[in-house]
Amino acid sequence: QVQLQQWGAGLLRPSETLTLSCAVYGESFSDFYWSWIRQSPEKGLEWIGEINEIGRINYNPSLESRVTMSIDTSKNQFSLKLGSVTAADTAIYYCARYYGSGSYSLAYWGQGTLVTVSS
Amino acid sequence: EVVLTQSPDFQSVTPKEKVTITCRASQSIGGSLHWYQQKPGQSPKLLIKYVSQSMSGVPSRFRGSGSGTDFTLTINSLEAEDAAAYYCHQSKSFPHTFGQGTKVEIK
């Protein structure tokens, strides 16, 4: 059974960089895309982007200028960085995996990390 | 960007009633539409993928249908445990997008 365990700083000041990581347990890291999604009362669920094991990436254009995703296959982990955060980036951030190779429904989710941006 | 609009935003329903949630896409997304259930304090849970394919363990009262731009999630004979928010999600094109959600409350 695939499990995703995420962690990262929960309180940031404006202009800082959000950094979150997600560890994958229970299955091979290969052959899948790994995603980040965030959720806020203002914007609802927002897809941030995805990365696969060879570093192929797709970002949401609305965040692309500030987002960096990376992957460490040796540790079965992938990470999200979001630069120059503002209060509008306050949200619960989730890591997730699609159901299967070629299937783009989000079947596996991390537990979520509440990130608050406040001065 | 494909905009997904769900209706209604909120529904208060008596147990055993039927619930119908619709999701309309701003352009055709074929069959790349998925449904999630989210209970307070939990991560979203995939209920149905690709319009009508129920995930393992999902009760048979949950049914998905539709194609193109109009999709429906039906909950037949609502149970108390179905109180949650429900979201649609399209994976046809980037960026993937979600509907704004429908909150189902049990009367």
CB contact under 8 A, B101 and A106: no
Instruction: Tell which residue, B63, B72, B52, B57, has the closest CA to residue B4.
Output: B72
> Chain B contact for A106, CB < 8 A?
yes
Instruction: Tell which residue, B24, B36, B26, has the closest CA to residue B72.
Output: B24
pLDDT tens for chain B, 107 residues: list them.
999 999 999 999 999 999 999 999 999 999 999 999 999 999 999 999 999 999 999 999 999 999 999 999 999 999 999 999 999 999 999 999 999 999 999 99
B32: chain A residues, CB-CB within 8 Å? 104
CA distance A47 to A95: 10
Q: Which tens digits make up the pLDDT trace of A63-107? A: 999 999 999 989 999 999 999 999 999 999 999 999 887 789 999
CA distance B18 to chain A (A): 25
The four Cα atoms A35, B74, B8, B105 give a dihedral, to 10 degrees, of: -90
Q: Which residues, including other chains, have CB under 8 Å from residue B107's CB and lie 6 or more apart?
A: B12, B13, B14, B15
What is the full DSSP assignment across A12-29?
A: E-TT--EEEEEEEESS-S
